[in-house]
C-alpha cells in the first residue's frame, strides 16, 4: 500500500487538522470531536444543515461547509459511519433557534447513527429533521444499504437545501426542498479499478486488464455487472440512459449535471465525458442549466466517474445558482 500518511490510526484526525489549517476563514473544529463547523456557528435565524459519513470521500463533506451549503460535517473513520455521539456534538454545535436538518446518505450505519443522534438532540430541546439521499440508480440494496445508495447527487442536496436555509426558510420548508432534490436526482457510476482502504492495506477487489465494473458504489460495493472497457462515448450513453430510464424529463425541461471523479480520474477524461453528456442531452432537447465537474464525492484513489442529473424547476434552479462560499464549491 502506497499512501502519503503517517499511520492508519491518525488519518482522520490529521486530515481534519489539515482542513482547518487550509480553510480557517470557513471552518473550525469542535474540540475533541471529528466535527467541523462553519466558523460563525451556531447562526441564529437560519436552519442549520449537517451531513457526514465515513471519511475517504473528500471533499465530501467538510469541503462543503460554508455560506450557502453546510453548517457542519461529521467524519467517521475511513468508509465507516460516524458514531451517534459525534453526530450529536455536530448538531449541538450548530443548533439554532430554527432547527437542524440532517442530510444522510442512504447507508444503514449512517441512517441508524444519524437518527439516534437526532433523538438525543431532540431530548436536549433541539428541533431536528432529516432527509435521506438515495440517488444511485445502479442497484436496489447493496453491501451496506437497504434500498438505493446515496452518492454524488448528495452535493445537489447540500447546495440547494443550503441556499434555502440561507434564505431564512423554516425547517419544514428546507426539509421539503431537500426532499424535492432527492426525488429529482439520479446518479450512475462506474469504476476502472479498486481503491485501498488504509486499515485493510490491499485493494478491495481486482478487475482484469480491460475490465470495468458498472454501477459500482463509492465504497467499492458491487455494481450491476462487469464488462470490457468501451469508449467514453459508449459509457456515457449507457450511464445517462440508465439515469433517464428512471426519471421523467420532457423536452425543453432543464437539468443540472455532475460529472464526478472518484479520485484518480484525470479532469481531462471527465471533460471528454462531459462533451458527450451535453450532446446527448442536446439531442433530447433537454437544457443543461449547470454543470459541476471534478472530484466532489470520491472513493479514495479509485479510478472512475459518476454522472448525476437533477431535474430543475424554477425554485431549484434559483437555489442551485444562489451564492455559495465553501472550500470545494463557490458560486458567485
Catalytic residues: 57, 219
Identify the CA nearest to 133 among candidates 213, 67, 52: 52
Residue 193 lies near a second copy (rule: CB under 8 A): yes
Chain-centroid distance of CA 70 in Å reads: 12
Enumerate residues 6+ apart whose C-beta is below 8 A from 279: none
**Binders of a second copy in range 14-73 (CB under 8 A):** 14-19, 21-23, 55-56, 58-59, 63
| Shorter beta-carbon distance to a second copy: residue 129 or 233 | 233
Residue 233 lies near a second copy (rule: CB under 8 A): yes
| Shorter beta-carbon distance to a second copy: residue 58 or 136 | 58
DSSP class of residue 9 equals G
Residue 50, CB half-sphere, CA atoms under 13 Å: how many? 37
Phi and psi torsions of 278, nearest 5° = -65, -40
At its nearest, how many Å lie between a second copy and the CB of residue 78?
Answer: 8
Phi and psi torsions of 108, nearest 5° = -55, -45
Contact residue for a second copy among 39, 120, 247, 272 (CB under 8 A): 272
| Shorter beta-carbon distance to a second copy: residue 172 or 282 | 282
Which span sits near a second copy by CB under 8 A: 33-41, 87-95, 164-172, 266-274? 266-274
Which residues in this chain contact a second copy in the complex, by CB under 8 A?
2-7, 11, 14-19, 21-23, 55-56, 58-59, 63, 192-193, 209-210, 212, 229, 231-233, 235, 259, 263-275, 278, 288, 291, 293, 295, 298, 300-301, 303, 305, 325, 330, 332
Amino acid at each position: 500500500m502506497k499512501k502519503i500518511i503517517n499511520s492508519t490510526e491518525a488519518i482522520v484526525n490529521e486530515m481534519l487538522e489539515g482542513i482547518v489549517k487550509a480553510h480557517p476563514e470557513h471552518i473550525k473544529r469542535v474540540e475533541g470531536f471529528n466535527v467541523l463547523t462553519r466558523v460563525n456557528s451556531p447562526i441564529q435565524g437560519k436552519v442549520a444543515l449537517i451531513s457526514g459519513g465515513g471519511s475517504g470521500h473528500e471533499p465530501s463533506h467538510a469541503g462543503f461547509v460554508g455560506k450557502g451549503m453546510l453548517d457542519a460535517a461529521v467524519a467517521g473513520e475511513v468508509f465507516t459511519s460516524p458514531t451517534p455521539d459525534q453526530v450529536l456534538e455536530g448538531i449541538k454545535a450548530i443548533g439554532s433557534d430554527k432547527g437542524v436538518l440532517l442530510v444522510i446518505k442512504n447507508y444503514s450505519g449512517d441512517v441508524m447513527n444519524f437518527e439516534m443522534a437526532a433523538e438525543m438532540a431532540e431530548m436536549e430541546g433541539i428541533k431536528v429533521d432529516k432527509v435521506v439521499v438515495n440517488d444511485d440508480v445502479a442497484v436496489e440494496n447493496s453491501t451496506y444499504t437497504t434500498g438505493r445508495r446515496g452518492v454524488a447527487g448528495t452535493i445537489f442536496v447540500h447546495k440547494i437545501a443550503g441556499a434555502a436555509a440561507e434564505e431564512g426558510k423554516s425547517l419544514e420548508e428546507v426539509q421539503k426542498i431537500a426532499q424535492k432534490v432527492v426525488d429529482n436526482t439520479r446518479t450512475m457510476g462506474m469504476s476502472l479499478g479498486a481503491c485501498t482502504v488504509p486499515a485493510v492495506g490491499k485493494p478491495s477487489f481486482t478487475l482484469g486488464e480491460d475490465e470495468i465494473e458498472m454501477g459500482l458504489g463509492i465504497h467499492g460495493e458491487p455494481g450491476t455487472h462487469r464488462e470490457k472497457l468501451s469508449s467514453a462515448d459508449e459509457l456515457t450513453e449507457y450511464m445517462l440512459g440508465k439515469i433517464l430510464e428512471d426519471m421523467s424529463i420532457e423536452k425543453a425541461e432543464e437539468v443540472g449535471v455532475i460529472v464526478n471523479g472518484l479520485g484518480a480520474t484525470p479532469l481531462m477524461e471527465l471533460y471528454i465525458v462531459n462533451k458527450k453528456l451535453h450532446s446527448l442531452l442536446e439531442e433530447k432537447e433537454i437544457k443543461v442549466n449547470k454543470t459541476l465537474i471534478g472530484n466532489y464525492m470520491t472513493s479514495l484513489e479509485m479510478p472512475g466517474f459518476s454522472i448525476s442529473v437533477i431535474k430543475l424547476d424554477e425554485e431549484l434552479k434559483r437555489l442551485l445558482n444562489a451564492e455559495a462560499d465553501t472550500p470545494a464549491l463557490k458560486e458567485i
